[in-house]
Structure 1
């Protein structure tokens, strides 16, 4: 069951990460509009971070570290890219609030994965390595 949960959890990150890498120019423009410095580079780098973290969780290679990499992406993204409190248009505010809450919920899920795998290691499902931490 844990392996199925990991597969379902990382599906979003793999798609998003590859989009960040392959569409860095377009996505970087959006990031720049949100005030992200060196937005194209940041978009590409965050895509690499997401893909590495997701693959680590999926494959069970230092799964706990992979989960932390996803948290490192999700928390700043929630606050930098989805600052709903800055929006004045009610519809835009609602959409950003949903994205903000999604990022926080996913960060919470990644922290749970970190805690479970760092505590119980490879007893929770098929992994290639044990936990790093």
Structure 2
């Protein structure tokens, strides 16, 4: 039987990361609008929040794609996603916000699966583990 576990893990990482990359590039092209939106939500330190969002959505998403420090990256991204759901999509009476809120929770669930099972055989983490002579799990 053919084992697609490594391929499936990398495709899953890429599919999750693409959403963050698109959102990050959107924020990068409109910093004033993004900062104003963060400020209107009542979050403190809107400029710092903007920079943190860029770090997660561009930096950590890139690390997720290549599978470096995958478990830690996935946990931080999951926490960011849950916080974003509560900060920006908390009007559950609005159908669009309701959908976005639960979409964010679902994305966080996928990220937590990556945190639990690792980046898979096709990741920088696995490459580094092989070089160090450690066993790489083939299941994730």
Tell me the TM-score normalized by structure 2: 0.77
Runs of 4+ in 1 over 6 A off after TM superposition: none
In 1: Cα distance, 2:90 partner to 2:28 partner:
23
Residue-by-residue CA offset, 1:66-109 (whole Å, 9 max, x unaligned): 11121121111110111114x5xxxxx11111111111111111
State the structure with more CA Rg: 2
Match of 1:10 among 9, 13, 17: 17
Q: Which residue of 2 aligns with 1:73?
A: 80
Q: Which residue of 2 aligns with 1:19?
A: 26
Q: Is structure 2 residue 123 aligned with structure 1 residue 127?
A: yes
Q: Which residue of 1 aligns with 2:95?
A: 94
Q: Is structure 2 residue 51 aligned with structure 1 residue 50?
A: no
Q: Which residue of 2 aligns with 1:82?
A: 89
| Structure 1 unaligned regions, length at least 5 | 88-92
Aligned pair count?
Answer: 121
Question: Between Structure 1 and Structure 2, which shows a larger proportion of helix residues?
Answer: 1
Q: Please report how far the alpha carbon of residue 29 of structure 1 lies from its aligned counterpart in structure 2 after TM superposition.
A: 1.1
Higher relative contact order (CA 8 A, sep 6+): 2
Q: Please report how far the alpha carbon of residue 22 of structure 1 lies from its aligned counterpart in structure 2 after TM superposition.
A: 3.5
In 1: Cα distance, 2:87 partner to 2:17 partner:
22
In 2: Cα distance, 1:128 partner to 1:20 partner:
28
Q: Do the aligned residues in 2 keep the contact of 1:24 with 1:44 (CA within 8 Å)? A: no
Tell me the TM-score normalized by structure 1: 0.80
